[in-house]
Structure 1
């Protein structure tokens, strides 16, 4: 690994790790976002706690600046597809496990979408909008389960697109999104190292993997107050 490649990957991780939602919540509301709602240090929880007019711009920042731009820079400087993929993975890992916040962070959804934008994965983005946005959010009013479906389906979907010559995809991208799926599922299971009030049991892990929370009802989770600091 050359110094340039290492700099790209480490730089992408440190840039992705900037806790924008935490900083904005601290500056505008004077609160630690880890102690409110889902405890997620991301735009979705920021929107719940401070309003969408704050959450949406932060989500776009996470998408474009943290994920899309570093990959495009790697492309512009003629780095290989493997390096570009590593940069995208590093950005998501930084966002999810930030060294600036004791390895807590967001869920990685905005940054994953930013990676998809950088690789011009418009068909996959459109399918995600239908599954998560329309079916999950607008129709069923709970996008978490459909986000889980999309996370699992995406690597296989990318592979099938290339296999049937529908859209050209380098196999490196399939590997990248398999790694991203593992990272996003790991984040769901570990949350922000917060111990569930009811203790760890199979039901908590099931709720986390399917609905990205410790309880069944979304309203109960997003409107709660978290006692104590996140570890």
Structure 2
């Protein structure tokens, strides 16, 4: 394994993750800075609330693609090196959460995390997405859906693979998503977390 190739893949993963799709959607569609509105996140949920359904869907797809691309590129250039794929996915998550272009203030990594796990183990990624959609349908709360999907992730990964690298990254991703949603969890407990269709 070439050390330079591995480091380059990690750098590319971060740069892919840091593509500010949500921020650009706010600027281009409404001339607003999402970091100053709603949750302050540049993710698809805040785009949905502040900009609209169409831009939010585009942002969601792009954010998923960022995570998947980082993992698949690493797997293509360094096949058989699970840890490099995992680290490339994690750097994409880091780029999405802490984008260099936006003063290190980005999104909550749910869509990019989904893309990462679709690249690493697509059945697990689809199962988590199914849990997300089911919870969202029942409760109409995006943050709750995201957290429950994240909690299920390491369990599903452990049940579907013997690769320790993928289980470890599932645990890390779960911790990141929960940490990024800590204020949402407080509002859920208090009964003040907005549902789909409500603005903050």
Q: Determine if the TM-score, normalized by the shorter chain, exceeds 0.5.
A: yes
Q: Runs of 5+ in structure 1 lacking a partner?
A: 163-168, 190-203, 225-231
Q: Runs of 5+ in structure 2 lacking a partner?
A: none
Q: Does structure 1 residue 49 correspond to structure 2 residue 50? A: yes
Is the 1:67–1:112 Cα contact (8 Å) retained in structure 2? yes
What RMSD in Å do the two structures reach over aligned CA positions? 2.5
Distance in 1 (CA, whole Å) between partners of 2:21 and 2:185 is 29
Is the 1:36–1:223 Cα contact (8 Å) retained in structure 2? no
Q: Against the structure 1 CA distance between its residues 126 and 17, is the aligned structure 2 distance closer, same or farther, given a 3 Å change threshold? A: closer
Question: How far did residue 60 of structure 1 move?
Answer: 0.5
Distance in 2 (CA, whole Å) between partners of 1:206 and 1:113 is 20
Distance in 2 (CA, whole Å) between partners of 1:205 and 1:42 is 14
Normalised by the size of structure 1, how large is the TM-score?
0.77
Question: How far did residue 214 of structure 1 move?
Answer: 8.7
Q: Does structure 1 residue 20 correspond to structure 2 residue 27? A: no
Question: How far did residue 219 of structure 1 move?
Answer: 5.0
Q: Against the structure 1 CA distance between its residues 72 and 55, is the aligned structure 2 distance closer, same or farther, given a 3 Å change threshold? A: same
Q: Against the structure 1 CA distance between its residues 69 and 41, is the aligned structure 2 distance closer, same or farther, given a 3 Å change threshold? A: same
Q: Give the greater-gyration-radius structure (CA).
A: 1
Q: Does structure 1 residue 144 correspond to structure 2 residue 143? A: yes
Question: How far did residue 205 of structure 1 move?
Answer: 7.9
Q: Does structure 1 residue 109 correspond to structure 2 residue 110? A: yes
Question: How far did residue 126 of structure 1 move?
Answer: 3.9
Distance in 2 (CA, whole Å) between partners of 1:178 and 1:121 is 17
Is the 2:72–2:119 Cα contact (8 Å) retained in structure 1? yes
Distance in 2 (CA, whole Å) between partners of 1:219 and 1:13 is 31
Match of 1:7 in 2: 8
Distance in 1 (CA, whole Å) between partners of 2:99 and 2:63 is 13
The structure with higher relative contact order (CA 8 Å, sep 6+) is 1
Query: Map of 1:42-191 to 2, 5 A cutoff?
Result: 42-64=43-65, 66-79=66-79, 80-122=81-123, 124-134=124-134, 136-162=135-161, 169-189=162-182
Higher helix share: 2
Is the 2:70–2:116 Cα contact (8 Å) retained in structure 1? no
**Secondary structure of 2:106's aligned partner:** coil
Moved over 4 A (4+): none
